[in-house]
Amino acid sequence: MIANGLPAFRTTLIIATYNWMEALDALLETVRAQWEPPDEVIIADDGSRAETGDLIARRATAFPVPLRHVWHEDAGFRLGAIRNRAMAVAAGAYLIQLDGDQLLHPGFVRAHRKFARRGSYVQGSRAMLGEALTQRCLAAAALTAVLPSPFTRGVRNRVNGIYAPSLARLVRGPSGPLTRTRGAHMAFWRDDIVRVNGYDEDIQGWGREDSELAARLMNSGVRRRNLKFAAVAWHLHHRTRPHDTVARNHEVFERTVREGRVRCDHGISRYLRHGEPGGGKTTGAALKLD
């Protein structure tokens, strides 16, 4: 079915965040400005302080679509777990996943809806902003009026900032689960995520959680498609996390590839509703839905 020129399925935009309110607020402003908004937005909060919840509650009162907050206590880097919680309660059939340190072109969601195909997941890209340009964007009184372009001073890997949707169908790019896989900008069909049991919560700390999920999706028959020149996102400058857990997590990724694993043992199933395929009793910290 087609509605308003777009495929008729519900979309959920899932935004991960952790204690950077200014970036999250700016990102939400660019979500408000979308030409075709998602059907709902869920903030997957990896244990931020109360101020983040207050911001989301204020935004929700006048947001154009439902804006919800899914939170768990801060117990270190548990991004896979909070994304599982958000995906479990998502109403959309199609999940667009972002980190909360980005700004979006107004055609971002529309591009994802047009690009979505059954039997595939999507790896998106980002243009990187330098520190000075990041500060200018965050300080702008009217952010959507000063969004960067590929030619703005302070933009790195400028090709990822080009908005030319007619070129998107020509992009090929990597076909495997590891090369240039970034969970900061991906999209999935929710039932594919449920089938492979979402993110593997046995992966602890930063690194390889997204590649390992991609490997299980591909083992299940879901292919990778790369989206450029349409769903443009600009990544705000910040200090990077320590990478001391990558080697250990890479061993989990290699096991998944070697054994052809499709499902992980500890994933989204613990948060799914009773009666939903793959679901069971919710365990762990309570969901906070604002």
pLDDT in tens, 215-229: 999 999 999 999 999
The mean pLDDT of 122-145, rounded to a whole number, is 94
Contacts of residue 139, Cβ cutoff 8 Å, sequence gap at least 6:
none
Smallest CA-to-CA distance from 26 within 196, 144, 109 is with 144
pLDDT band at 205 (very low <50, low <70, confident <90, very high): confident
SS3 content of the chain, % helix, strand, coil (to 5): 35, 20, 50
CA 1 to chain centre: 25
User: What are the DSSP calls for 98-149, one per residue?
Assistant: EESSEEE-TTHHHHHHHH--TTEEEE---EEEPHHHHHHHHH-SSGGGS---
Classified as helix, coil or strand, 53 is helix
Which class in CATH covers the domain with range 8-271? alpha beta
Per-chain mean pLDDT for the chain: 91
Task: Provide the pLDDT for residue 6.
Answer: 58
pTM over 0.85? The answer is yes
DSSP code at position 266 = S
Classified as helix, coil or strand, 186 is strand
CA 209 to chain centre: 13
Contacts of residue 239, Cβ cutoff 8 Å, sequence gap at least 6:
none
For the chain, what percent of residues have pLDDT higher than 70? Answer: 91
Residue 73 has pLDDT above 70, yes or no: yes
Task: Provide the pLDDT for residue 290.
Answer: 39
Tens of pLDDT along 163-178?
A: 999 999 889 999 999 9
